[in-house]
Amino acid sequence: MTDQIQNDQIFDVVAIGNALVDIIAEADDAFLVEQDIAKNAMNLVSAGRSGDLYDKIGPAVETSGGSAANTMTGIASLGGKAAFMGKVKEDQLGTIFRHDMHAQGVYFSTHPVPDNQHGPYAGISTGRCIILVTPDAARSMNTYLGISVEFEPQDINADILQRSQITYLEGYLFDRPAAKRAFYQATDIVKQAKKTMALTLSDLFCVERHRAEFHDLVQNHIDILFANEAEILALYQTNDFNSAIAEVRKHTGIAVVTRGEKGAVITNSDAVHEVPAAPVDKVIDTTGAGDLYAAGFLYGITHGKSLPEAGRIGAIAAAEVISHYGPRPLVKLSDLI
């Protein structure tokens, strides 16, 4: 796939998110406690902390990651047309990230930052996420955002947003001011083009950090909201799942709330659908479960499927990715549906 866009090219979904390479290693719960790592969450870490932690973990495997980027590769693997915007350095990890996007058929043309040894970006590398997988298949993430936080409004390609049915944004973007400005700029472009805006709340602690703004977003800018159970409860500061669902139905067109092995609840103004999880022989690593659920759902609704049908595709895509290590599908998802 070339990065040259064709005149008549359109996309099902374009995403803006952090461009990260994952470093996956096994760990036990005692190590998480010892290292003060919040389990099942995304912990933001500095470059120094990332390096210290890397020295302490066991042998690792590297693979391209990043939540919204994973979702776009899932859509491509399903046969959909996906694009991605996010920032990498022109270093070895950045090369790996770009390769994997292109190899999966995702349109990705954000200019990488040159890897100079002097200048404002010297010493800032492509972002990486140390993912520790415990024996219960839970993943605990430690993200050094690196150059990905330098994503800013001028990196937004308005033409791509206008060519896309849906623009999908990571809540994680709210963790940095420039990325947040880019986020709002994308929102304006999508609204003017009368296209659809989707958001994932990303992470429990991400919701805690940005609750007020997320409320505003959900009520005023977002057509499709993705969250897991912990995130939707945190957004509405309740312990009652049903009341959280009742709240979110008032505020957004479609909400897709995943609940692990309990399946997902998908709502719009007309109905609340419960969609069961797809069976998995053995859950190995839950990294990417939510990302791939979103991929299946977005593929479904951009291909004329009903909400429950789209949810079923999401469940199948999520089941594939949790049956092995790594956050991206290992088989062609289009063969599974």
Residue with smaller CB distance to a second copy, 118 or 250: 118
Q: What is the closest distance, in whole angstroms, from the C-beta atom of residue 50 to a second copy in the complex?
A: 12
Residue with smaller CB distance to a second copy, 270 or 281: 281
Residue with smaller CB distance to a second copy, 58 or 304: 58
Residue type, 196: T
Site for a second copy in 66-125 (CB under 8 A): 73, 91-93, 96, 99-100, 102-104, 117, 125
Q: What is the closest distance, in whole angstroms, from the C-beta atom of residue 186 to a second copy in the complex?
A: 26
Q: What is the closest distance, in whole angstroms, from the C-beta atom of residue 180 to a second copy in the complex?
A: 28
Region of 137 on the Ramachandran plot (φ > 0 left; ψ -120 to 50 alpha; else beta): left
Q: How far apart are CA 319 and CA 41, in angstroms?
A: 20
Residue with smaller CB distance to a second copy, 105 or 153: 105
Helices (H), 171-273: 177-192, 204-209, 211-220, 229-235, 241-251
Q: What is the closest distance, in whole angstroms, from the C-beta atom of residue 95 to a second copy in the complex?
A: 8
Q: Is 196 in the site for a second copy (CB under 8 A)?
A: no
Site for a second copy in 114-173 (CB under 8 A): 117, 125
Q: What is the closest distance, in whole angstroms, from the C-beta atom of residue 329 to a second copy in the complex?
A: 9
Residue with smaller CB distance to a second copy, 92 or 154: 92
Determine which helix (DSSP H) or strand (DSSP E) holds 61, and give its type and residue range: strand 61-65
Q: What is the closest distance, in whole angstroms, from the C-beta atom of residue 153 to a second copy in the complex?
A: 29
Q: How far apart are CA 296 and CA 337, in angstroms?
A: 10
Site for a second copy in 295-334 (CB under 8 A): 326, 328
Site for a second copy in 13-72 (CB under 8 A): 25, 54-55, 57-64
Residue with smaller CB distance to a second copy, 10 or 330: 330
Q: How far apart are CA 15 and CA 66, in angstroms?
A: 11
Number of residues that bind a second copy (CB under 8 A): 25
Strand stretches in 76-220, DSSP E: 82-85, 107-108, 127-133, 139-144, 164-170, 196-200
Q: What is the closest distance, in whole angstroms, from the C-beta atom of residue 100 to a second copy in the complex?
A: 5
Q: How far apart are CA 197 and CA 165, in angstroms?
A: 9
Q: Is 294 in the site for a second copy (CB under 8 A)?
A: no
CB 1 within 8 A of CB 107: yes
Exposure string of 107-140, with b = 16+ CB inside 10 Å and e = fewer, is bbbbebbebeeeeeeeebbbbbbbbbbbeebbbb
Residue with smaller CB distance to a second copy, 34 or 240: 34
Residue type, 148: S
Determine which helix (DSSP H) or strand (DSSP E) holds 22, and give its type and residue range: strand 20-26
Q: How far apart are CA 115 and CA 149, in angstroms?
A: 16
Q: What are the beta bridge partners of residue 16? A: 85, 169
Residue with smaller CB distance to a second copy, 60 or 230: 60
Q: What is the closest distance, in whole angstroms, from the C-beta atom of residue 59 to a second copy in the complex?
A: 5
Q: What is the closest distance, in whole angstroms, from the C-beta atom of residue 23 to a second copy in the complex?
A: 8
Q: Which residues bind a second copy (CB under 8 A)?
A: 25, 54-55, 57-64, 73, 91-93, 96, 99-100, 102-104, 117, 125, 326, 328
